[in-house]
Chain A
Amino acid sequence: MKSIKTGIGRRSFIKRSTLASGGLMLSFNWLASCDMTPKKVKALPKEWFTLNGYLKIGDNGMVTIMSPNPEIGQNVKTSMPMIVAEELDVNWDDVIVEQAPLNTTLFKRQLAGGSQSIRQGWQSLRMAGATARDMLLSAAAQTLGVSKNELSTNAGIILHESSGKTLTYGEVASLASTLEVPSEVLLKEVSEFKIIGTSRKNVDGLKIVTGQPLYGIDYKADNMLIAMIVHPPAFGMRLKSIDDIQSSQMPGIRKVFAMKTHLDDYDLGAFDNDAFNEVAVVVGNSTWEVMQAKKELKIEWEMAPGTKKEMDLFGRKMTVETPAGLESTEDHKAIFDKMSKTKGRVVRKDGDPETMFKNAAKIIERNYTCPFLAHNTMEPMNFFADVTEERAILVGPIQTPEIMEGSVSKRLGMPIEKIDIQMTRMGGGFGRRLYGHFLTEAAVISKEMNLPVKLVYSREDDMTQGTYRPAYHAYYRAALDENNNLIAFHVRAGGIPESPLAANRFPAGALDHYLAEDWTAPSNITVGAFRAPRSNFIAGAEQAFLDEVAEAAGKDPIDFRLELLERAAKNPVGTNNDYEADRYAGVLKLVKEKSDWGNTDPNVHRGTAAYFCHNSYVANVLDVVMEKGKPIVQKVYCAIDCGIVINPDAAINLAEGGSVDGIGHAMYSALTFKNGMPEQKNFDDYRLIRHGEAPKEIEVHFVKNDIDPTGLGEPPFPPIIGALANAIYKATGVRHYNQPLISDKNLAG
């Protein structure tokens, strides 16, 4: 390796050289340094030395750490560099964080999804810090003429104990950057951590509260035009023709045209969405002018035929069929009614559940449903594109930059080496920005215009062209013997168009007789991952059902679960159970203790739930009080086992947010359809939880252990829905089975 001089704001040296000039054309230093408090600007070094792709060290000891993954609000831009800084052993105040470029050679899995950034980045982030520290130690050993193992580090200073001599990282960075990368390095013990496990502020915090440009929608470049799209009004329709005469002559309008996002012979990938593959495009000088021209645009739509598409799911070819027609929520309800009574596909069967149900003393059967949901990231879909014959520069909010690079490469017929995707901080993701059709659209529009373009979706465009959370149904059945023991359990879960079933999760493994079936019904409404996919429904349904079963069995709901988990820990049924029963029980025990379960005010009505998904365990107690006949969420307790907690206050924030989000969607949110058209188009009729409806207090507790960390973006969302439903039952005496719960007028108050 060699040292490379980089001035302030210079784009990363690891950028592909073919793109260097193109990249520099863009707003200089726009995205580069994001943690630039005045104190840090003052302390910038004269020269930076690169130790590896993750970090460079200045001659004065300042450190720049690259945050490899997209930031959607899950705090990885702070917490991932904290892991590097820990092993590097530097003072966090001396660290500047930059968003890394997309570079699949240097960084692995630059993706925000599945709550996996910390879990899958853990080892490589530690190695990056430890490797650099080792090289600094080697450089210091050479400088001092001593053996490396006589040296130690402490917060950016290298100490030779016997002589008392010290060197700073800044003093040896130049030499260190010329040394061979060690093949083996030492990692710290958990007990030696000084940064991990301590709360550090969001590195973009100052920029956020002062309104500095951070998001894709804020991006600007010289000669940039604004583009917006008009997509068909209903799923099941497509564009027939455009009459652009009026709109194209409106003030500030540069061009109106039709565009195909994907070419006809393109095999869709896992994160391509082409519900509306052909859309109308309006391009103009400013957003308002384009919005006005959109209104004047006359488009003829027609019914779209059913499709049979080839999909390329990471190398696995698949044929996906979608039906023609205009679907309505009423049709979906009819499908639920029919399919929930029809035998499904058996996914898992333990023992002889049929016989046990036949011989049961008591059977409990319940049905649960949830509607489609729109992601509604507060920052609508948008992307900047500057495409020329030679290269494409794409800047904006995307959770899957690497995957979309391939998609846009095929669309433009341009090799990946010539495509530069830059990640901005995202105004929310929740899974929506895994599906980057808007990035491809921006690229096609820029190519058509031969100018830089920022594509912006209006809120209505965003809400009515989603990759929605599917509508799901779950039918549960439990058999009790004459002593009220749970002897068999049956779940049949399906959805439009995918099933939410997780057949090997609890209570599978805790029961001798268990049956799990799934079903699906085709639809042309596009769906995708929504915060905690599938779990975001099935957890609440399952945990509400278990509450009823516990009640029927005359057992305390926490003790009831703990008994089942004890069985699953000691003598599990089956071998595919995808949870650790001890850790599951651990969060329940912790929430029981912290909430002082069982010792409650008669006016406070408590519900509990627990779930495991995305590698983390969460248990809740939720307290409801009734005010004027309406349930108010007074307090939420979360107990979480996600292994080592990197940035505790940020982790608490994420758990608070996940809880509010889960409560909000279960209580208030729905996207319904009439003849293929979403019936909610903006926040006047799509309800999201608001200040006055949020829990008054949220308390978050973590199980303390040394297990490698797992994620937190998704796990706090699913179980809180069960805890909410169970608490509302305690408060009102009525069980609610259909989300949004507020659709029951008694709850609306």
Chain B
Amino acid sequence: MALYQLNVNGKQHNVEVDPATPILWVLRDHLNLVGTKYGCGIAQCGACTIHLNGTALRSCQLPVSSVGEGKITTIEGLSASGDHPVQKAWIEHDVPQCGYCQAGQIMSATALLNNNSNPSDEDIEAAMNGNICRCGTYTRIKAAIKTAANS
């Protein structure tokens, strides 16, 4: 066990956990931020996507000991009221079906748009390919990303 001070969504949090604990479980079990989802635990589904210093990462493969003073942003930190352009586009296109993967999809999409304000279909497919949607909302996700890009 070791003590860590984490910067999550602009706030400092202290946690005492095993150094190998993935950020995913620190968020979910210790910080009560359950928007970041567990899907596979091996960085294959994207449900646990967060931003570390603005880069999209799979939090299930990110040990708490590796984060240091890095700035973590989760879906809850994107905007609490849903007024981030990507969240608004998701609502506008009514993207979710079951909704479970969508936090991860939104975090991947947001990181994509931060680096590429006008992504092509191919850019979107490449950036989002690590995020599985079992309900099959892919065409809506693409449309929502384009809407967000234009806003």
Q: Which chain A residues have a beta carbon within 8 Å of chain B's beta carbons?
A: 38, 72-75, 199, 201-202, 204-206, 208-215, 217-218, 220, 226, 251, 286-289, 291-292, 376-380, 425-430, 456, 458-459, 649-650, 653-654, 656-661, 664, 682-684, 688-692, 694-698
* Bound Cα distance A291, B18 (Å): 12
Residues B97 and A653 in contact, CB atoms below 8 Å apart: yes
* Bound Cα distance A684, B125 (Å): 18
Question: Which residues of chain A are near B29, meaning CB under 8 Å?
Answer: 226, 286-288
Q: List 6 A-B contacts (CB under 8 A).
A: A202-B99, A211-B76, A288-B21, A289-B18, A377-B100, A378-B101
Given the interface contacts A287-B25, A427-B100, A682-B40, does A201 sit within 8 Å of B91 by beta carbon? yes
Residues A427 and B25 in contact, CB atoms below 8 Å apart: no
Question: Which residues of chain A are near B44, meaning CB under 8 Å?
Answer: 682-684
Q: Which one of A209, A376, A427, A690 has the highest number of Cβ atoms from chain B below 10 Å of its Cβ?
A: A209
A376's nearest neighbour on chain B, judged by CB, is B134
Residues A378 and B136 in contact, CB atoms below 8 Å apart: no
Instruction: Please tell me if B47 contacts chain A, counting CB pairs below 8 Å.
Output: yes
* Bound Cα distance A380, B101 (Å): 12
Residues A209 and B91 in contact, CB atoms below 8 Å apart: yes
Residues B18 and A251 in contact, CB atoms below 8 Å apart: yes
B65 CB, min distance to chain A CBs, angstroms: 13
Of A204, A217, A661, the residue contacting B135 (CB under 8 A) is A661
Of A211, A288, A380, the residue contacting B22 (CB under 8 A) is A288
B9 CB, min distance to chain A CBs, angstroms: 10
Given the interface contacts A73-B98, A210-B81, A682-B42, does A688 sit within 8 Å of B132 by beta carbon? yes
Q: Which of B100-130 contact A (CB under 8 A)?
A: 100-103, 106, 121, 124-126, 128-130
Residues B138 and A210 in contact, CB atoms below 8 Å apart: no
Q: Which of B62-81 contact A (CB under 8 A)?
A: 74-76, 78-81
B41 CB, min distance to chain A CBs, angstroms: 6
Q: Which one of B74, B76, B128, B139 has the highest number of Cβ atoms from chain A below 10 Å of its Cβ?
A: B139
Question: Which residues of chain B are near A215, meaning CB under 8 Å?
Answer: 37, 100
Of A213, A378, A691, the residue contacting B125 (CB under 8 A) is A691
A458's nearest neighbour on chain B, judged by CB, is B41
Residues B132 and A286 in contact, CB atoms below 8 Å apart: no
Residues B136 and A691 in contact, CB atoms below 8 Å apart: no
Question: Which residues of chain A are near B91, meaning CB under 8 Å?
Answer: 201, 205-206, 209
* Bound Cα distance A288, B63 (Å): 11
Of A288, A459, A698, the residue contacting B18 (CB under 8 A) is A288
* Bound Cα distance A425, B103 (Å): 15
Given the interface contacts A210-B82, A459-B40, does A379 sit within 8 Å of B98 by beta carbon? yes
Q: Which one of B44, B95, B106, B138 has the highest number of Cβ atoms from chain A below 10 Å of its Cβ?
A: B138
With A456-B38, A459-B39, A695-B139 already in contact, 17 other A-B pairs whose C-beta atoms are closer than 8 Å: A202-B96, A205-B96, A206-B91, A209-B90, A210-B82, A210-B87, A211-B35, A213-B35, A288-B25, A378-B39, A427-B101, A661-B135, A661-B136, A682-B44, A683-B132, A691-B138, A694-B136
A291 CB, min distance to chain B CBs, angstroms: 8
Residues B140 and A656 in contact, CB atoms below 8 Å apart: yes
B25's nearest neighbour on chain A, judged by CB, is A288
B97 CB, min distance to chain A CBs, angstroms: 4
Question: Which residues of chain B are near A214, meaning CB under 8 Å?
Answer: 99
* Bound Cα distance A74, B42 (Å): 28
Residues B81 and A38 in contact, CB atoms below 8 Å apart: yes
Of A212, A287, A456, A649, the residue contacting B94 (CB under 8 A) is A649
Residues B129 and A73 in contact, CB atoms below 8 Å apart: no
Question: Which residues of chain B are near A379, meaning CB under 8 Å?
Answer: 37, 39, 98, 100
Residues A657 and B36 in contact, CB atoms below 8 Å apart: no
Residues A208 and B124 in contact, CB atoms below 8 Å apart: no
* Bound Cα distance A429, B138 (Å): 18
Instruction: Please tell me if B149 contacts chain A, counting CB pairs below 8 Å.
Output: no
B24 CB, min distance to chain A CBs, angstroms: 9
Question: Which residues of chain B are near A378, meaning CB under 8 Å?
Answer: 37, 39, 45, 47, 98, 100-101, 132-134
Question: Which residues of chain B are near A697, meaning CB under 8 Å?
Answer: 139
* Bound Cα distance A456, B29 (Å): 12
B129 CB, min distance to chain A CBs, angstroms: 5
Residues A220 and B97 in contact, CB atoms below 8 Å apart: no
Residues A658 and B34 in contact, CB atoms below 8 Å apart: no
